[in-house]
Amino acid sequence: MNKIIKSLSVIAFVAAIALAGTQAYFSDTETSTGNTFTAGTIDIDIDENNPFTGHYDIGDLKPGETGYMNFKINNVGTNAANISKRLYHFTHTDSGENYSCGDPINGNVSSEPECVKEIAIGHRADYVQSQLIYDLSVEVYAGDDETNGPIWWQTIYKDSDNKKLTDVYGGGKSVALGMIPAGGHMNVTQSYHFNPNAGNKYQGDGLSFDMEIKADQLSQDEEGMATVTLAQKEESNGEWHIKDGGANGVLTYKTKGPEFTYSFSATGLASSTNYKLIYYADPWNGSNGSMTIADLSSDGAGKINTGNQSVDLGVDLPVSTDANYPDGAKVWLVLANDFNGTNMTGWHPNSYLFETALIQYDDTDL
């Protein structure tokens, strides 16, 4: 044991001499002090309640009538957040199940029309949620003041889409609402149109459900990558809405780095067509900061898949001259001939994919 201890002591002594010899040369040391790291926060409230424990009640609704369930989401955290929404735990009540309706064939029946109808059709699996046509739209504001109007808005579902609650939220599906900058808020408008042609079998029915509003940071994986959906939109009465069943794409991008690292895929486009993936800076025609991110072409099936790419944009997004600065940037896919690298030179919106949320990118090389 003593021999082992002595051997270790010799090794340590030799190492110390070698280190001293190295330090005899000229040297210089610079010290950086006060380095900090701060973890940001993701936090929202609903109608200024945090946590939100209330509920909304549409109340009595008859065929042909519309009920609204509107609320305000405040981003009270320190980071921009992507917002999604889902409805779940659908529970129905059926007036025909609450008492005996009798025998309509022998004339021994309740005078209630819903009883007559339900006995005539027998047991049914569909309930009132199948007769509620759903609309959904959002407006995003930079702060609490709404005087200057929203910085971004979109209609996600409109009445003519004829979307039922079960179409939109069936199977636990979530709906992306868009991005709220830190300190901003989003007004959510939801309308429930009771089908005017709904028959007596729905009379007296009720419906309850739970609603979840989720806020995610823009970067959502370990590589710092975020995603935003680009969608085909169409205009109606001066408002733009997402086209049901239209073309769409997904941009996956790194929110921070020396280069804009991304991948982009799209389906439903015109076949074998040249496009440009662009950053579009408002107002029209985009000449105050817009730029090309990538030159792309669809294949014969109308698809694009870039794989992983990087481009040195040389700017943060949005740029300071963008009307949306500092809240977020728009990314579009447009026809190549409609954009000259700095501004829009044509306008064929039915062939484009537009943002469904604003993005932010921090160029760390600036």
Can you tell me the distance from the alpha carbon of 136 to that of 155, in angstroms, rounded to the nearest whole number? 6
Can you tell me the distance from the alpha carbon of 207 to that of 95, in angstroms, rounded to the nearest whole number? 12
Can you tell me the distance from the alpha carbon of 366 to that of 353, in angstroms, rounded to the nearest whole number? 30
User: What pLDDT was estimated at residue 20?
Assistant: 44
Bridge partners, 227 (sequence order): 252
User: What pLDDT was estimated at residue 47?
Assistant: 77
Identity (one letter) of the amino acid at 218? L
Q: What is the DSSP letter of 171?
A: G
Q: Taking Cα atoms as reference points, which of 91, 57, 65 lies closest to residue 198? A: 65
Can you tell me the distance from the alpha carbon of 360 to that of 318, in angstroms, rounded to the nearest whole number? 7
User: What pLDDT was estimated at residue 54?
Assistant: 67
Identity (one letter) of the amino acid at 91? T
**Which tokens sit at 280?**
């579009």
Can you tell me the distance from the alpha carbon of 102 to that of 120, in angstroms, rounded to the nearest whole number? 11
Please name the residue ranges forming H helices in the chain. 2-22, 113-121, 165-169
Q: Taking Cα atoms as reference points, which of 330, 366, 334 lies closest to residue 350? A: 334
**Which tokens sit at 223?**
């590589």
User: What pLDDT was estimated at residue 5?
Assistant: 36
**Which tokens sit at 17?**
């001499």
Tell me the Cα Rg of the chain.
29
Q: Is pLDDT above 90 for 252?
A: yes
Q: Could you give the C-alpha distances from 28 to 23, 25, 31, 353, in angstroms and in order?
A: 11, 10, 10, 56
User: What pLDDT was estimated at residue 30?
Assistant: 52
User: What pLDDT was estimated at residue 329?
Assistant: 95
Work out the average pLDDT over 51-57: 70
Can you tell me the distance from the alpha carbon of 287 to that of 289, in angstroms, rounded to the nearest whole number? 6
Bridge partners, 275 (sequence order): 296, 335
User: What pLDDT was estimated at residue 26?
Assistant: 56
Q: Is pLDDT above 70 for 28?
A: no
pTM, whole model, 2 decimals?
A: 0.73
- Chain centroid offset of residue 144 CA: 21
Q: Is pLDDT above 90 for 11?
A: no
Can you tell me the distance from the alpha carbon of 133 to that of 160, in angstroms, rounded to the nearest whole number? 9
Percent of the chain with pLDDT strictly greater than 70: 74
Q: What is the DSSP letter of 342?
A: S
Mean pLDDT of the chain: 80
Q: Is pLDDT above 80 for 221?
A: no
Work out the average pLDDT over 157-161: 84
Percent of the chain with pLDDT strictly greater than 90: 43
User: What pLDDT was estimated at residue 79?
Assistant: 85
Q: Are 114 and 201 in contact (CB under 8 A)?
A: yes
Please name the residue ranges forming H helices in 145-215. 165-169
Q: Which residue has better confidence, 333 or 53?
A: 333
Q: Are 91 and 209 in contact (CB under 8 A)?
A: yes
User: What pLDDT was estimated at residue 98?
Assistant: 46
Q: Is pLDDT above 60 for 115?
A: no
The ranges assigned to domains in the chain are: 38-217, 218-366
User: What pLDDT was estimated at residue 224?
Assistant: 75
User: What pLDDT was estimated at residue 122?
Assistant: 46
Can you tell me the distance from the alpha carbon of 334 to that of 322, in angstroms, rounded to the nearest whole number? 19
Instruction: Give 181-205 pLDDT, tens digit per residue.
Output: 999 999 999 888 888 887 666 766 7
CATH topology of domain 218-366: Immunoglobulin-like (2.60.40)
**Which tokens sit at 284?**
């029209």
Work out the average pLDDT over 324-329: 93
Tell me which residue has tokens 């370990």: 222
**Which tokens sit at 338?**
């409609």
Can you tell me the distance from the alpha carbon of 311 to that of 266, in angstroms, rounded to the nearest whole number? 19
Q: Is pLDDT above 50 for 1?
A: no
pLDDT band at 97 (very low <50, low <70, confident <90, very high): very low
pLDDT band at 321 (very low <50, low <70, confident <90, very high): very high
Instruction: Give 253-300 pLDDT, tens digit per residue.
Output: 999 999 999 999 999 999 999 999 999 999 999 999 999 999 999 999
Tell me which residue has tokens 């070698």: 18
Bridge partners, 81 (sequence order): 180, 217
pLDDT band at 113 (very low <50, low <70, confident <90, very high): low
Work out the average pLDDT over 302-319: 97
Work out the average pLDDT over 161-178: 86
Q: Which residue has better confidence, 37 or 180?
A: 180
Q: Are 289 and 340 in contact (CB under 8 A)?
A: no
Q: Strand 309-311 relative to strand 260-267: parallel, antiparallel, unpaired? A: antiparallel
Identity (one letter) of the amino acid at 298? S
Can you tell me the distance from the alpha carbon of 100 to that of 102, in angstroms, rounded to the nearest whole number? 6
Can you tell me the distance from the alpha carbon of 202 to that of 118, in angstroms, rounded to the nearest whole number? 9
User: What pLDDT was estimated at residue 239?
Assistant: 81
